[in-house]
Amino acid sequence: MESHGKVIDRLRTAFRSRVTVPLEFRLSQLRSLLSLMEENEAQILEALHKDLAKPKFEAVLSEIEMVVNDICYAIDNLKYWVQPDYVGKNLATKLDDCFVHREPLGVVLIIGAWNYPLQLVLLPLVGAIAAGNCAVLKPSEISQATEALLAELIPKYLSQECFSVVCGGAEATARLLENRFDHIFYTGSQAVARSVLQAAAVHLTPVTLELGGKCPCLLYGQLDIPAAAKRLAWAKYFNAGQSCVAPDYVLCSRQVRDVLLPALQQALHHFYGPQPQRSVDMGRIVTERHWSRLMDLLGRSGGRVAIGGESSREERYIAPTVVVDVQESDALMQEEIFGPILPILTIESLEEGIELINRREKPLALYVFSDESKVSVSTVLEKTSSGGFCSNDGIVHMTLPGLPFGGVGASGMGSYHGRWSFETFSHRRGCMLRGWGLEKINVLRYPPYRDGSLSW
C-alpha cells in the first residue's frame, strides 16, 4: 500500500502543475463524480444498507440525491462562481482593476463520519473539486462497506493524480494528520476535533469543523399537533436518530406535552406499524458499541419511558423512544444522544426555554414549532444562536444548497453546501492591478513627506 507521504507528494505535484485550475478540468471531474453516483446506485444502496440498514428512501434522499443535486448545482453555477468580484474604488485607485479572485488552496484533506458515510465525504469533495483543489478523502472506518466502496470507485472515476482515498481508523488518521495539508475539512465528534485542531496547528493549516451537539426543539403556543408530531418524529427517527441535526430534545409546556405524546404515538404507528422492529423503514444503530452507549444512557437517565424503549442487541435495534419528565441534570441531557431516544423537558414559558438553550453550548441546529401569529419563532430566532435554524420542521433546512450548513461555537466552524463549499475551499485573493498612469499624484506620497499630514 502506498504510504501517506507518497500519496500527498503525488497530489502536490499534480496541484503544482496547475492541472486542476482550468474550469474545464473541474467540470470534467464533477461530471465524472456524477457518473460515479449514477452508475453505481445499486452498490451504494447495498453498502449503506450493510453499514446502517438504511431504508432505501432515506439513503436515496439523504445520501444520493443530496450529492447529485450538489454536483449538478456546482456544474450549473461554477462559471459564475469563478468570476472575479469587482469592489468599490476610491480616488487613489480609480484607474485600477480592484477585485477578489478565488484561487484553490492546494491539497486538502476531507475526514468523514459514519452516519452519512457517503454524503459527508462527497459533498465536501464537490466543493474541493469546484474550487480547483486536489483532495485526500478519509472516510469513516466504522461504516466499512461504504469506506471500501469509496476506495474502489473514486480511483475509477476521478483523476488518480489529483484525488485519493485513504482508509483506516483513529491511528491511521492521526498519522495522516502529521502531514502538511492546505486545508482540513473534518466532520465528526467534538472530542476528536480537538486532536484535529492540534495537528493542524503544527502546520498552521486552516480547518473547517463540522461537529455535533444537542439540537433543541422548542414547541410553543397554538400548534397543529398532528402535523408537528409527524414532522418531529420524521426528523428525529430518520437514520435511527443518528443525524447531527436530529432534534436532540424537546422543550414544551405540560399542556403541549400531554397532547403531543398521543400524537407522536400515532405518527410512529403510522410510520413503522405496530412493530417498528419489523419495519424496513426503521434503521439500525451502527455498531454494538454505539448501541451499548445508547442503552446505557437510557438506563442511567431519569424520567419515564412513555413510548418505545424496546431493544435488541443482536439486531442493533432500539425502538423509537420518547422519555418524559426529564430534568436538565439527567444523563440524557449531558451528551449528544445520536440515536432514536427523544427526551421531553417541560417549561413554564418561552423565556424559560430560551434561557435553557442559551446556557448550553450553541447547537448545530435549532427548531421552533409554533403558530406564526404568536411571534415566538422570530423571538427565538433573535434571542438565541445556532449553526442553522428551521421553524415548524426538522433537518430539511440542510437540503437547500443556497443555505450555508455548519456550526457555531462548539458545534463547529466554517460552513459548506452549494456555493458555500466552493468558498470554503477557495482563497479569496484581494487583487489590485495598477497601471503606470497618474505618477504625478504618487509624488504626493513619496518622502520627503511634507508636514506629516495626509491632506493632499
Give residues in contact with ligand NAD (CB under 6 A): 111-115, 120, 138, 140-142, 169-170, 173-174, 187-189, 192, 195, 210-212, 244, 336, 338, 364, 407, 412
Q: Which residue lies nearer to ligand NAD by CB, 102 or 417?
A: 417
- CA–CA dist 441, 52 (Å, integer): 69
* Residue 39 known to be catalytic: no
Residues in a beta bridge with 98: 432
Extract long-range pairs of 441-445: CB within 8 Å, 24+ residues apart: 441/92
For the beta carbon of residue 112, count every other beta carbon within 10 angstroms: 28
* CB 382 to ligand NAD: min, Å: 24
> Is 390 designated active site?
no
Our CB check for ligand NAD shows the closer of 113 and 332 to be 113
Residue 309: what residue type?
A: G
In whole angstroms, how close is the CB of 135 to ligand NAD at the nearest point?
15
| Of 161 and 335, CB closest to ligand NAD | 335
Which of 58, 63, 210, 423 is catalytic? The answer is 210
**Residue sitting closest to ligand NAD (CB):** 212
| 60 CB-near residues (< 8 Å, 6+ apart) | 45
Q: Select which of 162, 244, 252, 390 is catalytic.
A: 244
Q: How far is the CB of 335 from ligand NAD (least distance, A)?
A: 9
Q: Is 273 helix (H, G, I), strand (E, B) or coil?
A: coil
Torsion over CA: 170, 135, 127, 74 (sign) = negative
State which residue, 298 or 365, has the beta carbon closest to ligand NAD: 365
Report the alpha-carbon distance of residue 183 to residue 320 in Å, rounded: 39
In angstroms, the CA 89 to CA 378 distance is: 37
Between 66 and 129, CB nearer to ligand NAD: 66
Asked whether 339 and 319 are in contact (CB, 8 A), the reply is no
Return phi, psi of residue 446, to 5°. Answer: -85, 145
Q: Which is nearer to ligand NAD, 92 or 202 (CB)?
A: 202
Asked whether the beta carbons of 333 and 357 are under 8 A apart, the reply is: no
Shortest reach from residue 211's CB to ligand NAD, in Å: 5
Smallest CA-to-CA distance from 416 within 146, 220, 209 is with 209
- The least CB distance from residue 214 to ligand NAD, in Å, is 9
Q: 425-441: string of b/e by CB count within 10 Å (b at 16+)?
A: bbeeeeeeeeeeeeeee
Q: Which three cell numbers stand for residue 27?
A: 467540470
CB of 86 to ligand NAD, least distance (A): 34
Give the contacts of 116 (CB within 8 A, at least 6 positions apart): 62, 63, 239, 243
Select from 332, 312, 335 the least CA-distant residue to 322: 332
Judged by beta carbon, residue 192 or residue 354, the one nearer ligand NAD is 192
- The nearest distance, CB 246 to ligand NAD, in angstroms, is 9
Q: Give the active site residues.
A: 210, 244
